[in-house]
Amino acid sequence: MLDLAQIQSIAQSYSPQELFATLVWQRRFNEFDGEQVITDLSNHRDLWASFLFTKPIFAPDENGLSFGGMVNTLLAMAHYRSMPETSIIHFIAYPTDTLYVLTENQDTKVSELLDLGKKSRADSVEVSDGANEDYGFRLKRRLRTRLERALWGEDVHQDCDAVIISYWWD
More confident call, 135 vs 158: 158
For residue 81, is it within any domain?
A: no
For residue 70, is it within any domain?
A: no
Nearest partner of 105 among 159, 154, 38, judged by Cα: 159
- pLDDT tens string 5-52: 999 999 899 888 898 899 899 888 888 999 999 999 999 999 998 888
- Would you state the pLDDT for residue 44? 96
- pLDDT tens string 84-112: 667 665 555 666 788 888 888 889 999 99
SS (H, E, C) 19-42: HHHHHHHHCEECCEEHHHHHHHHH
The count of structural domains within the chain is: 1
Note whether 68 and 54 are within 8 A (CB).
no
For residue 91, is it within any domain?
A: no
Its domain, for residue 34, covers 16-55+96-168
- The pTM assigned to this predicted structure is 0.73
For residue 72, is it within any domain?
A: no
For residue 23, is it within any domain?
A: yes
Low-confidence winner among 88-102, 133-147, 152-166 (lowest mean pLDDT): 133-147
- What is the rounded CA–CA span in Å between residue 83 and residue 122? 27
Q: Evaluate if residue 67 carries a pLDDT over 70.
A: no
